[in-house]
Amino acid sequence: MTKNKITADQLITAIIGGIEDVKGQEINILDLREIENTVCDYFVVCEGTSNTQVSAIVNSIQKKVSREVKDKPWHVEGEENAEWVLIDYVNVVVHVFQKHIRAYYDIESLWGDAKSTQIQTSY
């Protein structure tokens, strides 16, 4: 849970940095603030190519956020099989998928009313 007053932008920047550090792919930010009855303000969605990479992305995000903004997730779910790992930072929820699981659940379409921002990576 957030103890210090970090902004969502600071948290998202650290999360994206953690994803990019281990070459996570297809990074998308969904802004949910204009949608009624949402559980958080933002989703950050990305994918890895294997359960090993998904685990690496999750670890990288947690380390980067801890180091840069001194925050820890409120809850982490799905680490056992590393097909879809959810990292809950209360106002920002991160979804790290394997490609086929992301395609199956297609959460970006479920939240189609959200403003979506695709992050361009240089790798």
- Asked if residue 101 belongs to a domain, the reply is yes
Where residue 74 sits, what CATH number does that domain have? Answer: 3.30.460.10
- Asked if residue 122 belongs to a domain, the reply is no
- Asked if residue 2 belongs to a domain, the reply is no
User: Computed from CA positions of residues 34, 116, 13, 50, in that sequence, does the dihedral angle turn out positive or negative?
Assistant: positive
- Asked if residue 17 belongs to a domain, the reply is yes
| pLDDT tens digits, 6-63 | 899 999 999 999 999 999 999 999 999 999 999 999 999 999 999 999 999 999 999 9
Total domains in the chain come to: 1
Domain that holds residue 54: 8-111
- Asked if residue 93 belongs to a domain, the reply is yes
Query: Which pTM value belongs to this model?
Result: 0.94
- Asked if residue 79 belongs to a domain, the reply is yes
